[in-house]
Amino acid sequence: MRIGIFTNNYLPNIYGVPNSIESFRKKFEAKGHSVFIFAPDWGDYQDTNPNVFRYPSIKTNFKFKFPLGISYSFKMNKIIDSLELDIIYAQHPNLLGSAAMKWAKRKKIPLVFTWHTLYDQYANFIPFFSSAFFARWMIKKAVAYANRCDQVIIPTESVRKIIKNWGVTNENIEAISTGVEENLYQNSNRELIRKKFNIAHEDILLVLISRLTEEKNIRFIFKVVEKFLDQNKKAKFLVVGDGYLVPELQKISKGSGIILTGAISEKEIKDYYAAGDIFVYASKSETQGMVITEAMYSGLPIVAVKASGVESLVGDGITGFLVEEKIEDFLEALKKLSDNPELRKIFSENSKKIARERYTDEVCAEKMLAIYKKLI
């Protein structure tokens, strides 16, 4: 198959949607399919993949750098017109999502759309508009878009009820998560990172890998962990990622047992997961939360706030604990796991088993390709 992916968000951004695209792209190509990616121009960034084509964009840097693709381009029209595509896969309902729909109609080929985002949780990123107004407008637009597509993909089953309540009437909805890229998680080294940051063998290490921004509920997790570290002198907290909250978090972290690493490369990530004993997460804005399946694949028990996306992945009492967004509830779950190495081992084995059965890039790519074949 020849697959065209249209996205408003792509490399060099290393979170969320770009990682999802890359996971599927690599597996599709490994299976002999051709993938063409259409994304906004990102200034000086140079693509090494010859099948990436960039629309002109407007540069923005509100809270973080994010170019806005301009959906009309004479140059891009010529390129896409010349490509014999079998299916178009849109990652967003607006901007380049509009181009995706136009080209699917023009070429008379199926349009697949993944509903990646809970727009009511991300409206704070848009300047000059009321967050509530923008959320309502964006949800309305996404619903209309989804209802015109041939297939809607949701990253986890918990999203179905949400988008149905928002007004999606399209019955062609399938839950397919983004798979863990298994080749990135082989031969991890637990001691490498613990030595690097002077974490003793007997210390309980909590790990969070996340974009450090408001919608990830970072302030809540820091409040919880601060209390946990006060009560557990043989514990530390490793925070991996970057974002506009970093300066604030650095002030909190001084001398507290909290280690902020900044952004890391994808080649290093396996060792950061491997270094940990418990993965903690409080985001309520997920449709999936790829870090959850990565942590599970790495054998980490999870303690997370019970919320959309995450609740479809974490088995409460099986691979970890799902708790209400209450400091005492989260602390109690952390204490149960930190005090009980045997329970951590059981949850660890369960996490690895489930992740390998359900959430690898191979398993998820095969599900997606089966949808494409059915539509074509």
In this structure, whether the domain defined by 184-357 belongs to CATH 3.40.50.2000 is answered with yes
User: Which helix (H) or strand (E) covers residue 103, if one does?
Assistant: helix 96-107
CB atoms within 10 A of CB 187: 7
In the chain, where are the structural domains located?
Answer: 2-179+360-375, 184-357
Determine whether 106 is exposed, middle or buried from the number of CB atoms within 10 Å of its CB (0-12, 13-18, 19+): exposed
Residue 217, both tokens: 């509920």
List pLDDT tens digits, range 25-83. 999 999 999 999 999 999 889 999 999 999 999 988 765 677 999 999 999 999 999 99
> Closest Cα partner for 114 from 284, 308, 287, 286?
287
User: For 176-206, what is each residue's pLDDT tens digit?
Assistant: 999 999 999 999 999 999 999 999 999 999 9
**2-179+360-375 and 184-357, same CATH topology:** yes
DSSP class of 51: T
Contacts of 176 (CB under 8 A, 6+ apart): 153, 154, 155, 364, 367, 368, 371
Q: Count Cβ neighbours within 10 Å for each residue of 66-83 and write b for 16 or more, e otherwise.
A: bbebbbebeebeeebeee
Determine what percent of the chain falls in helix, strand and coil, rounding each to the nearest 5: 45, 20, 35
- Would you state the pLDDT for residue 122? 61
- 125 has a pLDDT exceeding 90: no
Residue 128 predicted with pLDDT over 80: no
**Whole-number Å distance between alpha carbons of 209 and 291:** 7
Fold of 2-179+360-375: Rossmann fold (3.40.50)
Tokens of 355: 């992740």
Provide the pLDDT for residue 119: 83
Q: Under a CB-based contact definition with an 8 Å cutoff, are residues 78 and 64 in contact?
A: no
Average pLDDT over every residue of 249-260: 90
At residue 126, the pLDDT reads 53
